Chains A and B, each alone.
Chain A
Amino acid sequence: MDLLKDFILGFNFFVFFYYILLNSFYTLFLVVSLFTILEYLRYLRLYNLQDFKLYSEIPPISLLIPIYNEENVILRTIKSALNIDYPYFEVIVINDGSTDRTLELLIEHFQLQRLPFFVYRKRLDTSKVLGFYYSKLYPNLFVINKERKGKFDALNCGVNFSKYPYICTVDADSIIEKDALLKLVRKLLDSNLPVIALGGVVRVSNGIKFENGNIFSIELPKKALPIFQIVEYIRAFLFGRLGLERLKGTIILSGAFSFFNKEALIKVGGFKDSTVTEDFEIVLRLHKYFRQKKETYYIGFIPDPICWTEVPESISELSKQRRRWHLGLFQTLWLYKSMLLNLKYGRIGCFIMPFYFLEATGATIETIGYPVVVLSYFFGILSFEYLIVFFLLAIVYGIFLSVGGIFLEEMSFRRYPRWSHVLKLLFFGILENFGYRQLNSFFRFQATLQFLSGSRKWELVRKSGETN
């Protein structure tokens, strides 16, 4: 009995230590992000984006939009892509064997014309291409119809068809802001190092009103679940990724909106299906490749190009999405375990990957930790003081981080301009620590079990497509 008590006590201290360590990382990111944002805002004041357009040597970009059964959202996405404020770009939509009316809708709406035969340089291996279409209305819009093999394959197919040296991947339910490409490319031209990949901010589009592919008005969604995710996205991008960027440790770029040097992508073999999160895997592979080759490179995150994406509105869809993300995190870390704590990979292997490893295992600690700590108190194993400190670390610090994220947003980009929005976000920032966060930990815990059982299932998330 004493042994069990000691074990439980030991576990409680382990949980305590875990929260201290994780919160230390978060505090570091928050502080670093605060300085980075201030610095970035100063930089933006000196930079006029429209002037930048006057200097014409900005590179052409291929925008890749992989789609699978997206008849509800695809027209809106393509219209917004065609509306982008950028001098030279092409939009390549890759239909990955949709079984609904997606392709028919595109043919009808954009007056697509099928080529009798097509030019296809297979630099990356892909499934069979069935047809190639060009639009009679938009000379820079192309649609590829191919056999289904998954998002990674559709992206590779797009890379093969693309003509330009840089590619930008956009999800079928995502809308990139008009000036997002200009903002990304600004970094490309400013950087002293060869830019291999860049990521921008992903924001929640639920509640946003669009007109002709452009944002008409920014409103908060009516349902609670998307609002929780807005707070989460703000926190994740504005201080999580920005903090990591400042520490030169960007290893995740959101699949909804990433930018790559095409030749670098081809060098490493393109996107792969070795994990369920091809966006995370490719970035880590690029890091590994360039560090092994000892070539200088830059992979980074920029806080002002914005892409709006739809988030799940039901618990079941959210659970699928979070399980997939977390399973992908585990799979990728496992795949690149040789980089972990390996000095050869510098700060990526010795600092950033251990942090993500801590986050990955955190779901299990959190899911088991909460009931164990509470029960330990009720059974008299832990003191009341410990219980209070635990809740301060787990809940109150969580509130502090959420509020910190919203504060960063308000002092920088202010995409939610009304005070009523800010107050509502703050309220949800507090509320998310009482249930929503724990629920997410549980989904991630499920993914941990999936990983341990060897599952590779890609759970398809259905979006409402109601944002208009």
Chain B
Amino acid sequence: MLKTLTKENNQNAVFVGFLSISKLIDETHFLIFLYILEEKLEKNILNLKAVSLIITDFIDRHKRKASLAIYDFMKNIDVFKPCRLALLDGIYYAKYFDEILVEIAKKSLDTDNSEILTKALKILSKAERIDEFIKLEEILTFLKHPSWIVKLSALKLLEKNLSPEIADYLIPLLEDKNALVRKYTAKIIFKLPDEVVIRKLPNLLKIKDVYGRDTLVEKLLISGFWDKLKEYSLKIELKEDIEKIMQFLKLNYNMKEDQWTY
């Protein structure tokens, strides 16, 4: 069957063929299956999305055995970039997930290609506890990556491993030129422990970039943190910080006194 598939050049027939063969083959043929898949992608008979869908089906069907095969396939040969991208995309959409797939993603972080990095970070963000697989310092380096999409993916990963000390690393991202990065940074900030956010906010609001500030204020209002601020204003140790925040909002965002009642 795999031989027949090798000779076939019709896009639809090849796609359906892979899905059908995926049901029938045993693990001894997994690597050949992946080689042929790569070849079809190289010859433009299959597109990236088709390869990704086949991989998702392959993983969900054969679970750990498929993970191991993909791991070996990516380890042994120099997989060309589009195929690597499609494989990672397929892994991301698969329901089945294990530590081997995490390892594949981790190994894929060792590249400069922003698309591969993005997919790898997205796979890692599927893990329940990422601190078991990747150190915080490693994620933080991706926050400095020149590509916004890598920064965004790193932020999404960071969201899974929130700790108060990351707040300071987020400040430059509030001033990022990409609006999505600013928006997601603001979102993460308001997911930190409430008291940490209140203590940090007066400083965060001092950033020079007005768009970063706007994003932060908008998220403050939309995230529901605004109501929390009212509750926390009763706490004496936080009162000073909250006063500073209010003063800033009155001065820069036309906040009226009646919109803030203690």
Binding site for B on A (CB under 8 A): 48, 50-51, 53-57, 60, 88, 115-119, 121, 134, 163-165
Contact = CB atoms under 8 A, between A and B. Distances in A.
Interface in B87-136: 89, 114-115, 118-119
Given A117-B254, A119-B217, A165 B85 contact: no
B226 A48 contact: no
A199 B140 CA distance: 40
A54 B222 contact: no
Contact of A119 (B52, B86, B118, B218): B218
B89 A54 contact: yes
Interface string B64-102: 000000000000000000000110010000000000000
Contact of B48 (A54, A57, A116, A165): A54
Contacts of B48: 48, 50-51, 54
The range of chain B's interface size is 20 to 34
Question: Closest 3 interchain pairs by CB?
Answer: A50-B49, A163-B179, A51-B48
B152 to A, nearest CB: 9
Given A88-B180, A119-B214, A121-B210, A50 B118 contact: no
Interface in B31-77: 47-49, 52
Given A54-B85, A60-B180, A134 B222 contact: yes
A116 B180 contact: no
A215 B171 CA distance: 44
A121 B259 CA distance: 20
A216 B175 CA distance: 44
B149 A163 contact: no
Given A54-B48, A57-B147, A88-B180, A117 B218 contact: no
Given A54-B86, A118-B253, 14 more contacts: A50-B48, A51-B49, A54-B49, A56-B118, A56-B149, A57-B114, A57-B147, A115-B222, A117-B254, A117-B256, A119-B253, A121-B211, A163-B182, A164-B179
29 contacts: A48-B48, A50-B47, A51-B49, A54-B48, A54-B49, A54-B115, A55-B85, A56-B115, A56-B118, A57-B148, A57-B149, A88-B180, A115-B222, A116-B255, A117-B254, A117-B255, A117-B256, A117-B259, A118-B218, A118-B221, A118-B253, A119-B218, A121-B210, A121-B211, A121-B214, A134-B222, A163-B182, A164-B179, A164-B180
A301 to B, nearest CB: 27
A51 B115 CA distance: 12
B215 interface: yes
B253 A117 contact: yes
Contact of A48 (B49, B115, B218, B259): B49
A262 B249 CA distance: 27
